[in-house]
């Protein structure tokens, strides 16, 4: 027994002495996405370059996986994947309205796109909730209700989550463009019967994408896509993030930039789960701005570990990995003093929600117990945009709702809001009077 125990101890000791970033492997993805990754991002914005009909358990619907052309915050063409669900049968002459969904955080690896799970054309299914049945969040909130109303629903995966390239996580300017181009893609597929009347909605990371899309009027109105002149009716954002609004004038000098970046690090380093979001944000921002380096913020070993983990794992597995490997010492992955802080702050601002008046009304739903996206973010966003003459409403959900209960609790509330916008009902300005 002693010899067996000794061998076990020696084996474990040997394994622990091997740097765990050395064994690098790409995550497995289904054939559809493996084929897409080999393709070049060439074509018009919104152009569907690959599609595949898929099964859905929702009666009276047809669904497809798609890959389409998009572009990032720097104007570089990309490929995004996603999914379209539409009613079966011919549409009315005026066509079907579009609901374009932007999902919350699922991760940064190529296999983290929600359309890759089994039976993805389903109502929203959340990992943290008792009814969750998967290792990730997937599905589309209010899907059955929207289909019954005769709408087409399209759900982007975002670039980098099955279409190749490095996912620009939490770069709202990129994620918002992917959202806009998903609607264009749905219109271009004649089998959907989609019109150009569009509402965008999203949660968490997707909430940030949604409010970013609301301020991308020039991008929405440019010509040369597969579906120009979208008729945007409104935006529904659940617990949206907005980094830029938290960093006013943060890049004006070195001291201010240092203080701002250190403040963000402290805010999101209170636990390993929030630290995982922060690490993904830095990783995604560096993907969008190649002049930056992960070693500006992480130690040399920390940068290797972060890149290894985020290239291969999805959100909740990322958090578990950091927790297993480091426990309460996860902050040892960070440099004591960040470098190149002005450039990082400029990138975080540039990639966030543009300070431009939204092109249509925005409604925000939030809970008082949200610790993943501080509500101060969208409170400041509302003040900023209302000052520009926008119509921004914030609705506090009843009870003590967390970040993860927000989609389910708000669903019946914005269902009516969506119906009213599609029916062209008047909407009073909901900005605070003061």
Interval 281-296 mean pLDDT: 98
Question: CA–CA distance from 351 to each of 83, 209, 408 (Å)?
Answer: 25, 11, 29
Write out pLDDT tens, residues 162-172: 999 999 999 99
- The band of 19, judged by pLDDT with boundaries at 50, 70 and 90, is very low
Q: Which residues partner with 366 through β-bridges?
A: 396
The pair of three-digit structure tokens given for residue 103, joined into one six-digit string: 């999902």
Give domain limits for the chain.
31-242+352-422, 245-349
The pair of three-digit structure tokens given for residue 155, joined into one six-digit string: 């759900």
Tell me if residue 107 falls in helix, strand or coil.
Answer: strand
The pair of three-digit structure tokens given for residue 279, joined into one six-digit string: 């690490």
The pair of three-digit structure tokens given for residue 194, joined into one six-digit string: 């989609």
**φ and ψ at 298, to 5 degrees?**
-105, 155
Cα 206 → chain centroid = 4
pLDDT score of 252: 87
Distance CA 282, CA 167 (A): 11
Is residue 16 pLDDT above 60, yes or no?
Answer: no
Q: Which residues, at least 6 apart from 198, have a Cβ–Cβ distance to it below 8 Å? A: 97, 98, 99, 100, 183, 230, 231, 232, 233
pTM: 0.94
pLDDT score of 304: 98
From the list 26, 94, 31, 106, the residue with the least C-alpha distance to 277 is: 106
Write out pLDDT tens, residues 166-210: 999 999 999 999 999 999 999 999 999 999 999 999 999 999 999
Task: 4-10: list long-range contacts, CB under 8 Å, 24+ apart.
Answer: none
Give CATH for domain 31-242+352-422: 3.40.50.1820
Distance CA 349, CA 427 (A): 31
Q: Are strands 362-366 and 231-238 parallel, antiparallel or unpaired?
A: parallel
From the list 29, 192, 57, the residue with the least C-alpha distance to 119 is: 57
Interval 149-163 mean pLDDT: 98
Question: CA–CA distance from 123 to each of 173, 405, 432 (Å)?
Answer: 26, 15, 34
**φ and ψ at 413, to 5 degrees?**
-75, -45
pLDDT score of 278: 97
């Amino acid at each position: 027994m002693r010899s067996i125990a000794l061998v076990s101890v020696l084996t474990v000791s040997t394994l622990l002495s091997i740097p765990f970033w050395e064994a690098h492997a790409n995550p497995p993805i289904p054939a559809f996405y493996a084929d897409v990754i080999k393709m070049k991002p060439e074509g018009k914005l919104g152009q569907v370059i690959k599609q595949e009909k898929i099964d859905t358990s929702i009666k009276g619907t047809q669904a497809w996986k798609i890959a389409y052309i998009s572009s990032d915050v720097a104007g570089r063409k990309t490929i995004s994947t996603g999914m379209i669900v539409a009613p079966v049968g011919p549409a009315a002459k005026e066509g079907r309205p579009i609901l374009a969904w932007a999902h919350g955080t699922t991760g940064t690896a190529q296999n983290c796109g929600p359309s890759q799970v089994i039976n993805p054309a389903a109502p929203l299914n959340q990992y943290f909730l008792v009814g969750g049945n998967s290792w990730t969040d997937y599905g589309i909130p209010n899907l059955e209700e929207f289909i019954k109303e005769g709408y087409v629903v399209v759900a982007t995966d975002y670039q980098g989550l099955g279409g190749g390239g490095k996912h620009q996580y939490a770069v709202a300017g990129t994620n918002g463009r992917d959202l806009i181009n998903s609607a264009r893609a749905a219109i271009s597929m004649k089998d959907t019967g989609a019109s150009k009347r569009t509402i965008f909605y999203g949660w968490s990371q997707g909430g940030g994408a949604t409010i970013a899309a609301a301020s991308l009027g020039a991008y929405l109105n440019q010509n040369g896509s597969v579906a120009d002149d979208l008729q945007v009716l409104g935006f529904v954002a659940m617990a949206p993030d907005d980094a830029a609004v938290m960093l006013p004038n943060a890049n004006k000098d070195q001291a201010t930039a240092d203080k701002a970046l250190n403040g963000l690090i402290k805010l999101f380093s209170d636990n390993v789960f929030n630290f995982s979001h922060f690490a993904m944000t830095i990783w995604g921002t560096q993907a969008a701005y190649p002049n930056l380096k992960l070693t500006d913020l992480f130690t040399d070993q920390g940068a290797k570990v972060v890149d290894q983990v985020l290239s291969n794992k999805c959100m909740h597995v990322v958090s578990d990995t950091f927790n297993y490997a480091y426990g309460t010492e996860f902050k040892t992955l960070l440099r004591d003093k960040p470098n190149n802080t002005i450039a990082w702050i400029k990138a975080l601002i540039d990639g966030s929600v543009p300070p431009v008046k939204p092109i249509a009304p925005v409604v925000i739903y939030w809970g008082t117990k949200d610790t993943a996206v501080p509500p101060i973010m969208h409170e400041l966003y509302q003040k900023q945009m209302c000052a520009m003459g926008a119509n921004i409403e914030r609705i506090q959900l009843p009870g003590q709702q967390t970040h993860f209960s927000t989609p389910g609790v708000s669903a019946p509330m914005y269902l009516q809001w969506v119906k009213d916008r599609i029916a062209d009902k008047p909407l009073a300005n909901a900005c605070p009077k003061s």
